[in-house]
């Protein structure tokens, strides 16, 4: 059972809003929305780990998502 897990994205959203990079799209549960390649609603911005609502929030999942995001960045750029 998990209690108290919530995405900690307030600072991230504030940085994007302050930098006028655009509004990052969030899910109904407050996570950063991504596509299957971990792209966000802002071009060239990717999200991985606990802020991107993984099915199993743990270090191993975050590392795997980081690898997917890195590959997406390589392919996109």
pLDDT in tens, 55-74: 778 888 889 999 999 999 99
Question: Which residue segments constitute the domains of the chain, with CATH numbers given?
Answer: 10-76 (3.50.50.60)
Would you say the C-alpha torsion 27, 31, 33, 37 has a positive or negative sign? negative
Give the integer Cα–Cα distance in Å for 66 and 29.
Answer: 21
Q: Is the pTM of this model over 0.85?
A: no
Residue with the bigger pLDDT between 1 and 10: it is: 10
Residue whose C-alpha is closest to residue 61's, from 12, 5, 23, 4: 5
């Amino acid at each position: 059972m998990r209690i108290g897990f919530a995405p900690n994205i307030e600072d991230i959203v504030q940085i994007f809003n302050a930098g006028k990079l655009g509004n990052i799209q969030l899910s109904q549960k407050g996570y950063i929305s991504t596509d299957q390649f971990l792209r966000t609603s802002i071009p060239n911005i990717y999200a991985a780990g606990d802020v991107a609502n993984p099915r199993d929030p743990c270090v191993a999942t975050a590392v795997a998502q980081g690898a997917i995001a890195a590959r997406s960045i390589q392919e996109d750029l």
